Structure 1
C-alpha cells in the first residue's frame, strides 16, 4: 500500500494522470496492433507509456530517495516528449533527428544533475523543464505541419495541441520569473499545481487528436481506393482488331491513355516472350534471304 504521505493533493493529481495516461496508452497500443504496427504509431504509443511511467514515479516520489525523486521522474517526462518528437517526424515522413533528440535528453539530464548537486531551488528546475518540454512541443508542431492535413488543419489538431502546450510552458517560465522576483511563494506553488493539471489536458487532447487524425487518414485512403475500384469497374468495349477501348464519350483511345486518365497507373513498354520469339523468327527468315 502507498504510505499516507502520498495521499496529498499532488498525489491525487498524479493518480488521476496515471489513470488517464494508462487508458490513452492502451488505446494507442490497440490501434497500433490493429493498423499494421506502423513506425509512427509505435513512437506515439511509446510516448504514452513513458508518460504513464513518469506519473507513477511522480506519485511515488515521497517514498523514493531524494536524488532519485528529483531526477528520474522529470527525465522520464523528457523521454516522453522526445518520443512524441520522433513520432511527429515519422508521421511527417521526415528523416529522424535522433542525434538532436538524444542530445536534448543528455543536456537536460546534465542540467538536472547539476541542480541536484548544487541544491538549486525548485523554481530553477521548473523553468528549465518548461524550456525543454515547450521546445520539444514546438519542434513537434513544426514537424506535423509537413504531415497530412488532418494532423494540422483542424482547429483541435495535434499540431494545435503541441503549439498550445509550448505557449503554456512559455507563460509558465515568464510567471515563474515574475513570482521569484516578487517573492510570491504561494503563487509559485500554485503554478506548479496548474502545471501538473495541464498534463492531463495535454495528454487527452494530444492522443485523442492523434487517433482521430490517423483514422481520418485511413478513411481517406479507403475512400480513394474505393473510388479507383469503382472507376475501373464495369464493361469496357475494346476493339477486336486494334485493341483500342471506347471511353464514356464514345471516342476510341489507346489502352494506355484510357487507364492513365482514370487511375494512377503508369505504363512502361516491354516485349513479351511470345512476341520476342516471333520477332526472332522473322529476323532469321529475313537474314536467310
Structure 2
C-alpha cells in the first residue's frame, strides 16, 4: 500500500469516527424527543433512521476489519435504508392517510442489486459512485417533496429540515457530475477530493437535518400550546346567558344559541340529544294527551 493510500485511509477513518460520534449524539436526542412525545408519528421514523445511519457509520469506520464483500456493500446500503426511512417519515409527517412505500423499498432493492453487481464485476468503476449519488439524491428530493406538504415549520425557514433535504439532493447531483468529468478518470487528486467531500457532507447533512427536525417539532408543539392557551383565554371569564331562553351574548352584544357561540369561538362541536329528565317529561306529556288530541 502506498503512502498516499495509507494517508487517505487514515483521513477517512478519522472522518468516519467523527461522523459516528455525531450520529450517536443526534440519535440519542431524537430518541429522547420520541420518548417524551406521544410515541407515534414521524418522530418514530426519524429515530429509527438516526440509529440506522449510526450503524452505517460504525461499519464505515470498521471497514478495514470487515471482509471485502461486507465492507463494500453493507455500509453503503445501510445509508440507503436510512434515507428510505427518512422518506417514509417525511410522508407520515405530511399527514398522508396512506403512505406509499414503493419508492423507498424499490430504492433499497435496486441499490442492493447494483452494489452487488459492481462489487463482483466492476469494483473500481466510477459508475458505482454515480449510482450511489443518483439514488441518494432521488430519496432526498422525494423527502423534500414530502415535507413540503407538512406544516410550514418543516419547510419555510432557512433552517427547516426540508431545506436540508434539498441541499443534500443538490450536493449528490453535483458530486455525480464531478465523478463523470473526463478529468476524474485521470486525476487522483480530484477523486480524493470528491471522496473526502462526500464523507464530510454526511456530518453537515445529519446535523442540519436532525437539528432542523427537532426544532420544527418543538415549534409545532409550541404553536399547538399557544393555540390551546388562546382558546382557554377566549372561553374564560364571565359569559352573559339569558335566564329564560339560555342564549349567550357575544362581545358585539348579539345573542346567540350556546352551540353557535362555542362553534365560533372554539373547536367544540355539539351533538344534540335528549337528557333522561327531559325524556321522562316528554313521555309524561305524551301519556296525558287524549287520542283525539293526536
For the aligned residue pairs, the C-alpha RMSD in angstroms reads 1.8
Alignment-derived partner of residue 20 in structure 1: 22
Partners of 1:65 and 1:54 in 2: how far apart? 15
Query: Cα distance, 1:245 vs. partner?
Result: 1.3
Is contact 2:49-2:82 (8 Å) kept?
A: yes
Alignment-derived partner of residue 204 in structure 2: 201
Alignment-derived partner of residue 70 in structure 1: 72
Q: Deviations over 1:237-258 (max 9, x none)?
A: 2111111112223332211222
Distance of aligned partners of 1:274 and 1:180 in 2 relative to their CA distance in 1, 3 Å threshold: farther
Partners of 1:7 and 1:103 in 2: how far apart? 32
Q: Taking structure 1 as the reference length, what is the TM-score of the superposition?
A: 0.94
Of the structure 1 ranges 66-75 and 121-130, higher mean CA displacement relative to structure 2 is found in: 121-130
Partners of 1:263 and 1:117 in 2: how far apart? 64
Is contact 1:141-1:160 (8 Å) kept?
A: yes
Query: Cα distance, 1:263 vs. partner?
Result: 0.8
Q: Deviations over 1:51-107 (max 9, x none)?
A: 111011001001110011001000010011011101101111122222332121111
Secondary structure of the corresponding residue to residue 123 of structure 2: coil
Residue among 109, 113, 118 paired with 1:106: 109
Is contact 1:259-1:265 (8 Å) kept?
A: yes
Of the structure 1 ranges 60-69 and 89-98, higher mean CA displacement relative to structure 2 is found in: 89-98
1:235 aligns with 2:238: yes
Partners of 2:82 and 2:217 in 1: how far apart? 20
Is contact 1:123-1:176 (8 Å) kept?
A: yes
Partners of 2:249 and 2:119 in 1: how far apart? 78
1:246 aligns with 2:275: no
1:146 aligns with 2:149: yes
Secondary structure of the corresponding residue to residue 97 of structure 1: coil
Query: Cα distance, 1:277 vs. partner?
Result: 1.9
1:163 aligns with 2:169: no
Of the structure 1 ranges 52-61 and 275-284, higher mean CA displacement relative to structure 2 is found in: 275-284
Instruction: Give the unaligned 5+ runs of structure 1.
Output: none
Residue among 52, 55, 77 paired with 2:54: 52
Q: Deviations over 1:22-49 (max 9, x none)?
A: 1000000000000121231010011111
Of the structure 1 ranges 229-238 and 218-227, higher mean CA displacement relative to structure 2 is found in: 229-238
Alignment-derived partner of residue 3 in structure 2: none
1:225 aligns with 2:214: no
Alignment-derived partner of residue 271 in structure 1: 274
Alignment-derived partner of residue 80 in structure 1: 82
Query: Cα distance, 1:155 vs. partner?
Result: 1.4
Q: Deviations over 1:266-285 (max 9, x none)?
A: 22322222212222221222
Of the structure 1 ranges 221-230 and 36-45, higher mean CA displacement relative to structure 2 is found in: 36-45
Q: Taking structure 2 as the reference length, what is the TM-score of the superposition?
A: 0.93
Residue among 36, 42, 45 paired with 2:44: 42
Residue among 181, 200, 210 paired with 2:213: 210
Is contact 1:54-1:77 (8 Å) kept?
A: yes
